[in-house]
Structure 1
Amino acid sequence: MDSTGRRRRRHWAALLGAAALVATGASATTAAATAAAADAVDFATHCIPPAIAGIPPIDGTTTAQIAVDNAAPKVGDTVTVTYTVVKPAASNPVDLALPADIMTPTGKVTLSGAQSGELTVAGPKKNDPVPGKGAFPSFSMTGTFTVTAPGAIKLSPGDYNIHTSYIMELDTPCTVTNPPAPVSETVTATDGGGTTNPRTVQLGSASGKPGDAVTVTGAKFTPGATVTLAGRNGAAETADKASATADAQGSFTGSLTVTDKATTGVVAYEGSSWSTEKGAGPAAYVVIDDTPLPADSQKVNTSVKAGTLSMSQAGDTVDLAGVDFGKGGFSRGDLRTVTVKDFRGGPAGWSLTGKVTDFAGPGGASVSGDKLGWTPVCVTKQGSPSTCKAGSPGSVGSAGATLASAPDGALTGGEFTVDARLSLNVPAYTPPGAYSAVLTLTLS
């Protein structure tokens, strides 16, 4: 081949542009990544100390604040709410000093305006030491709700309970004297423009001992449908399960006995398994483990936190080998390796798909994206609960194709490496020059 031919060959080398990676479903995040804090408000509170304290109810003032992770959601978005009691109305009811990390707070947040109802919130067992008869420290609780209507949704702090686990299990419930409390935060929701799941679920209590029953109420389910009530821990269901039947208006009231100490929330759904289309929740719930300890012993607790579904790629540009003008043929190369990490710990599998634009060349020339094919390969990291499956060899095109996937199961997750051999079938006498397209990968 002469020098002119070599220059043409190099000049024609096809370039796949920067691949846009889009994560959806379980790994989707809201547009506002940081919490938006609103005003702290004061409200009268009636607190009832444990009977062992031998003191009358406390009528005082609570200072609290509501914050959200997304103050401008769309209908259908899930908003995470943080309820912080800056200054509790109650104090340590006993003379005994309380050590660190023995307080478990739970509570409720009231919704009004464009959307009404209550959501339960719960906090971790975390606190500074509290001296005997000393003031309880500030604490925070979190929960979520799904936006079901556009407009201004007002959030007010509600009742809360301070549970202490030291020598004995004690509760100090505090209720709003004149509900609702003042509005601390307002989110402004916009219409998402698509079909929205209107189902909601609420709990009668945000905590209980193992074996306690919690009242579960729901609204806007399918009239007459059988609704499953289930405990959740992250994305995985726990052993707690019951059922209820929606009435002619789509509402129900049921009872769920919570015995599994791993339960951190409660969901309600229609059908044989959870789905975002026919489910509601989770509503936060805390199981207070009151199992007596043997003498001279200490309880050691830990937890496994559910993570996210994510992916990363080893670079964003692929150079395919060039072909000769007049001959055409296959321009080949390798997809940049994609690593999928599924750390959700639930029953859902995942799917990685791709689609490509046409290859744009000089002077308006192009090569159809349908002529790009791939042969996928997927490798599962040893020890992963799931096993990935490579997509079928074939054309990618603008309609898209599956690169790799993992099925649903009782417990899914793991790490996976996805590769593919790429080949672009270039027609003979395609005008010389540089051509490029954009391959977009979507993980859901």
Structure 2
Amino acid sequence: MALTRSRAAARRRRWTAVLGATALAVTGGALAAPAGATTTSQPVEFQTRCVPPPIAGIPPITGTTTAEITVDRASPKVGDTVTVTYTITRPAASNPVDLALPADIMTPSGKVTLGGAQTGAVTVTGPKKNPPVPGKGTFPAFSMTGTFTVTQAGSITLSPGDYNIHTSYIMELDTPCTVLNPPAPVSETVVASPVTSPNTRALQLDTASGAPGVRVTVNGSRFTPLTEVTVVGRAGAAETADRMTVTTDSDGSFAARLKVNDKATTGVVAYEGAAWNADKGAGPAAYTVVDDTPQPPDSQKITAAVTAGELSMTQAGDAVQLSSVDFGQGGAATGDLKTVTVKDFRGGPAGWSLTGKVTDFTGPGGSIGAGSLSWTPACTAKAGSPSTCAAGSAGPVGSGGATLASTPNGAVTGGEFTVDAGLSLDVPAFTAPGSYAGVLTLTLS
């Protein structure tokens, strides 16, 4: 890097994030893993053969290289991009000449070998940056980064591969180092999960209420074509005796005439398979059985209507500024999601789910993977709310999305809820200073 340490310090900036409707922006340098993040990486040693430049007039050097590989996401999904950092803490090669080498003239490059569920090699490069190296002195430690796209689910191992040290001083020279007896020991393992398709099955009733014994038309869509579907009444989380089976058409749709007798029925669901499965079902669609029991003589039946409302959310703001970090030092940029208030005034048996997904952060140094943003959710129900709010699991948000908070289905659901989350952004070391921006989208369903 051309800037001196003092000039670089003058150009330090703050990491920021914009959320809500929801953009995130980041400025600054490298960030370390967020608090609570886990890693399986470990330093390894392997034998290498390094060939000094011909001008040195010395034979190849066989020695031990110590290195470690880290990733920005240890649990990616198929299709995600993983950033790999290959750090050589002790190279086998050294300055082959008596001439001292000045600072910032070494540019490393290399390969990381993939194995297990996905094979191949990842090309990694490092910045042109190094401390002065005395004549015949040991080359300093250095890091190289690169990316690969996950194409297979399962455990993917990462092993150090060949590397090269290029020096640009007086003349351009290379010192290539080859792994003997490849592959080198595994330094890091990522476990990739398959892409999960969202459940788009939908359910609609032709009426929201009826007397006992009345048939309600249940229309289903986007189910698996030509598949048997169970249509059944619900009393909270329990099924009632009101049920029937239908077979979907070639488009995955159906129309069922369900006879509803049970006065406890508060909703209708439909699902594929022998039992309810949220991934292969739809509903519950709210339904009320109107009690038409005859009145005794000389009596008056008094009724009052309660109008159902909507499921909605509001945010306390759309800009979050994360803590600042120093370029080259590393550290986690942290902050808090602007508070989200969820109001469930529908008055039915269905719960809700609030999810979020984030794009990659783009800036002058390229991009920072979406999996680098992690959150620690929290959710509180307002006193008197029928539903209990459950916070999502702490961990990466990613482009595939994660749950921020939810409430379960029940006999009676609803209420007002406050949702928060601590945020932590992890950026590979020596990311170029500047502004990096991504978009976090929250979805309530």
TM-score by length of 2: 0.45
Q: Based on CA coordinates, which of the two structures has the bigger radius of gyration?
A: 2
Larger RCO, structure (CA 8 Å, separation 6 or more): 2
